[in-house]
A and B are shown apart, each in its own frame.
Chain A
Amino acid sequence: MSKRSAKADVLQGTLDLMVLRTLEAMGPQHGFGLAKRIQQISAGALDLNQGTLYPALLRLEQRGWIAPEWGASDSNRRAKFYALTKAGRKQIAREEDDWARTVALMERFLRAAE
């Protein structure tokens, strides 16, 4: 495999957790703010196609993990804000566990392979 890029594609399913975590940390955010924040945290290591964010937001909204509301942004213009719901908080806990398990599992494999 060529070292085409040091940036990782967003792993299927991980974007959801990133969005939820970000909202938990920062409180209600609009789409642009979320995109920026996610890229900041990944410190440029993540090649986030910002366009994939909106379908993901819709998906989370449909599952009831986030709730949208139209409000005013810092520059006082209309924007759609997303806030974490109670179900969303529970989902974070669940997914954190899953991740911890997955990571532990993968580590064991990687070490065993060495």
Chain B
Amino acid sequence: MRALWMRWAALFGKRRSERLLSEEVEIHLEMRAAELRAEGVDAAAARERARRELGGVEQMKEAYRDRRGIPWIETLGKDAMYGLRGLRRNPGFAAAAVLSLALGIGANTAIFSFINTLMLRMLPVEKPEQLLSLYRTGGWGKGYASYPLYLEFRKHDDLFAGVLGRSGAGKVRFDAGHGNRLEYVQREFVTGNYFDVLGVKPAIGRLFTDEDDRTPQGHPLVVLSYDFWRNRLGMDSAVLGRVPMVDEQPLTVIGVAAPGFHGVEVENHADMWAPAMMNRADIMQPGNHWIWIVARRRPEVPMGRIQAASNIIMQQYLMSVYGRQRESAFGKWAMEQKIEVREAGVGISMLREAFGKPLAILMAAVGLVLLIACANVANLLIARGAARRREIAMRFSLGATRRRLVRQWLIESLMLALLGSVLGLAFAIWGERYMLLFLPPGAGEQFRVTPDGTVLGFTLGISVLSAMLFGLAPALRATSLDPAAALKAGGSQQPGRGARAGFRKALVVAQVALSVVLVGTAGLFAHSLAGLRAINPGFVARNVLTFSLDYPRAWKNADKEKHRERLLARLSALPGIAEVSYGVPGPYRGGSWSASIRVTGSARTAKEGVEIDEQGVGPAYFETIGARPLRGREFDAGDLRSTRKIAVVNETFVREFLPGIADPAGRILSFDDSKPEGGEPTYIVGVVRDILHDGLKTTAKSTVYVPYREGDVAFGPTLLVRAQLPAGALLPAIRRELRAVDPEVTLAEPRTLIERVDDSIFVDRAIATLSGFFGALALLLAAIGIYGVMAYAVARRTAEIGLRIALGAAPGKIRWMVLRDGLLPIGLGLAIGLPLSRAAGRVSASLLYGIKPGDPLALACTIAVLVATGVLAAFLPARRAAAVEPMEALRHE
């Protein structure tokens, strides 16, 4: 221990201790010389003898130094300095290597950060690995369950140490009590035991207990998140006891949760929590799925038993609620619901459902990119090794061991990798920002991808790993030489050149094969996306802006309708706006609305009512989205006031219920499905094309459009504005008009229709774009690899080529000779890569739309792109070869 400390200290006080040692030696010599002088030896001779008796002073000092410092750290430092000098002398090589690595490492870091945030990072709660998500499937929606079902699970303390429920954060109005401008916060309803089950402690004040969640509307309390308290309230501890208006309800602040805790969801964070009992919706309704159940397992109960027991609990619950209706279509559907027990230590995430598999595929892709980059750097290093043979031979002759030289090489490789990873981190941060742009605002608003310790460790890990990967083989090759021969050969690359060139070619073939996998997969995703883009959604999205309105809670339906009418009138008077309307749910807004109907004279509904999609729309809705009715008319302002019920249906409706009817206008349907002939009649006035309202991958369903009346469904309408220009530019003017009509109403979720369609296929867009980018990167790196090997080969064969030309070979023939050499690794790489690419395609099959993994178009494109790359990369060296001056070349030899 003491020795180690002294050694460390010595590393720093190096100069001083060096001086002291010299002094000590000097004293020794002086004393011995004095003694000898006293014996009568003359001064010079005495000094000489003293020195001889002491032995080699420099060797001794070296041994002393070895003893003194920590030799390997010192030589490490020396090697690093030496390596840096070497890199500085060779900036072209250094730049190429560092850039290749930075691209590879950066891509890996970027994708890994996403994976880390979405799938690996544990929640900052007590023993997160014990948390389970009771995920509901089947029936309505996914994940969320009803409150009665939550209560069922809560009874089972034999399975769970605690069961909590949470609503998910939702945007609501917030007023800290100053009555100034309108603010919004993310509010989440949680059961009273929420913090207790998670083991989250308060930063200040207290958190909820079961006592705070007993009676509906009886607990006007709120707990703030630490971030909200810090960022929006300046950590004011006087906040306890204040009564801000949250969602227009006065709630008393009782505490602030521990730092770092944002709830149990990954991408949707809560600013504050209110007791579940404060939810104003009818929470006890079994059909109201609003609560996500999270449980803490008892460690002694095996997962299999929890799942089995949960199945039984679910079955009993379903029987008790839907048992009497289980023969009807509705009852059958309801009874199909299941509970999936999932690990929830990393938090629950809807984004993970959609984006998890694409991310895994992208991670594999960037892994391949890094391998290709490593192959490139290895190739560069081998070329450099050949150029440095003389230097290496010299160092051997001067007594360096092979181990020492290999270490020196590896340290140089490590420095390249570290430089690459620093630059790569910068790329990664930039890349993450770009990737976040793909996420729809709902999923990405609070999704932060921040590099933490895990990510930095990962980056460091892969950079060291890749340094070993690309550094070891070149190091072993470069140092396996006969120094005498190498020195004699004057540093040119005579011995072992066949093997060396062979290895480099093998590297290039590997690069090409990996690129084929990446380009092939990218081709599949691109083709899949192109297929999605080619789908006609039945409307024209260009220049349409969509948004919704947020009304004060006190407003009645009639108030809202009056407001909307005034707003629409003002908006349609604005210059640049062609058409204004609204619809529920509106295109690409999510949410659906269905009803069971009878159609007069239709065989389809003769026996029982049939479920169809329903949409509420305003006047000129179809005109606004560029989908004018095929027959008949759409609604106008007059229809809103008429008591006569009318509807517009789509083509699929006509095919399903009124086949062969040329003009269905005037036909009758009824929303009262109790009798075969229906109840109150609704008259069909028009037919529109099939419109894909809810996703490009859906198929059109029979749809009935009715004039929308406020309050028909729980969620408000989407407003649609068709402009003569790109619609985003109109947003400030629209906000102005909105304020002018009533400052209490605010605009929410503004999004152009094009953006909404894009959002609905964000996974396809992201994976096509990113895999395309990585494929291009792979190609670029492989092209550099091919170019490097070809250029080197041409340089080496200058004399031979010169001779051929002198003997009468045509330049075209020479060119072809070199080009052929460049195409050979492409051919081999394709032969190896295509089967691999097929396998990769099969893995990604579930993410493809409308095409098979063996898609011939993607295959043909892959081959064409690879061949083109090979020709491009080999073209320059080929031209150089053809331009060789025979006299020059021969003289050179």
Contact = CB atoms under 8 A, between A and B. Distances in A.
Interface string B59-74: 1100110111000000
A35 interface: yes
A30 B27 contact: yes
A99 interface: no
Contacts of B64: 54-55, 58
A58 B55 contact: no
A58 B62 CA distance: 13
B6 interface: yes
27 contacts: A30-B28, A31-B24, A31-B27, A31-B28, A32-B27, A32-B31, A50-B28, A50-B54, A51-B55, A51-B60, A51-B63, A54-B21, A54-B24, A54-B60, A55-B63, A58-B68, A62-B2, A62-B3, A62-B67, A63-B3, A73-B27, A75-B31, A75-B34, A78-B23, A79-B31, A80-B23, A80-B27
Given A31-B28, A62-B2, A75-B34, A51 B56 contact: yes
**Would you list the 10 A-B pairs with minimal beta carbon distance, nearest first?**
A51-B55, A51-B60, A62-B3, A32-B31, A49-B55, A32-B28, A55-B63, A55-B64, A50-B54, A55-B67
A55 B31 contact: no
Interface string B1-17: 01100110000000000
- Counting chain A residues whose Cβ lies within 8 A of the other chain, the interface size class is 20 to 34
Interface string A47-82: 001111011001101111000000001010111100
A79 B27 contact: yes
A61 B67 CA distance: 11
A73 B28 CA distance: 11
Interface in B259-307: none
B27 A52 contact: no
A64 B67 contact: no
A63 B3 CA distance: 6
B879 interface: no
B729 interface: no
B57 A51 contact: yes
Contacts of B734: none
B173 interface: no
B25 interface: yes
Nearest to B63: A55
B53 interface: yes
B32 interface: yes
B55 A50 contact: yes
Interface residues of chain B: helix, strand, loop or mixed (majority): helix
A56 to B, nearest CB: 9
A52 B63 contact: yes
A35 B64 CA distance: 16
B866 to A, nearest CB: 62
B46 to A, nearest CB: 14
Interface residues of chain A: helix, strand, loop or mixed (majority): helix
Contacts of B55: 49-52
A31 B64 CA distance: 14
Interface in A20-60: 30-32, 35, 49-52, 54-55, 58-59
Given A54-B64, A55-B67, A58-B64, 4 more contacts: A51-B63, A62-B7, A79-B24, A80-B24
Contacts of B63: 51-52, 55
B28 A63 contact: no
Interface in B413-454: none
Contacts of A35: 28
Contacts of B66: 55
Contacts of B25: 54
A30 B25 CA distance: 11
Contacts of B7: 62
Nearest to B17: A58
A58 B67 contact: yes
Nearest to B58: A51
Given A62-B6, A75-B34, A55 B60 contact: yes
Nearest to B30: A77
B79 to A, nearest CB: 24
B384 to A, nearest CB: 38
B110 to A, nearest CB: 48
Contacts of B24: 31, 54, 79-80
Nearest to A61: B6
B27 A51 contact: no
A35 B449 CA distance: 67
Contacts of B30: 77
Nearest to B31: A32
Contact of A51 (B3, B23, B54): B54
Contacts of B53: 50
Contacts of A63: 2-3
Nearest to A80: B24
A102 to B, nearest CB: 25
Contact of B59 (A31, A51, A59, A77): A51
Contacts of A79: 24, 27, 31
A33 to B, nearest CB: 8
B848 to A, nearest CB: 67
Nearest to A64: B2
A79 to B, nearest CB: 5
Contacts of A75: 31, 34
B28 A59 contact: no
Contacts of A51: 54-57, 59-60, 63
B34 A52 contact: no
A73 B32 CA distance: 13
Contacts of B54: 50-51
A90 B404 CA distance: 39
A82 B844 CA distance: 75
Interface string B22-42: 011101101110100000000
B216 to A, nearest CB: 76
A64 to B, nearest CB: 5
A30 B23 CA distance: 12
A36 to B, nearest CB: 8
Centre residue among B24, B25, B68 by max chain A CB count within 10 A: B24
Contacts of A80: 20, 23-24, 27
A58 B54 CA distance: 17
B782 to A, nearest CB: 54
A62 B2 CA distance: 6
A59 B68 CA distance: 8
A59 B7 CA distance: 11
A31 B60 CA distance: 14
Interface string B223-250: 0000000000000000000000000000
A19 to B, nearest CB: 14
Contacts of B28: 30-32, 35, 50
A45 to B, nearest CB: 16
A30 B27 CA distance: 9
B169 to A, nearest CB: 62
B2 A77 contact: no
A80 B20 CA distance: 9
B5 to A, nearest CB: 9
Nearest to B34: A75
A62 B7 CA distance: 8
Interface string B80-110: 0000000000000000000000000000000
Nearest to A33: B31
A54 to B, nearest CB: 6
A13 to B, nearest CB: 15
A49 to B, nearest CB: 4
A27 B68 CA distance: 25
Contacts of B57: 51
Contacts of B23: 78, 80
Nearest to A87: B2
Centre residue among A32, A77, A79 by max chain B CB count within 10 A: A32
Nearest to B60: A51
A63 B2 CA distance: 7
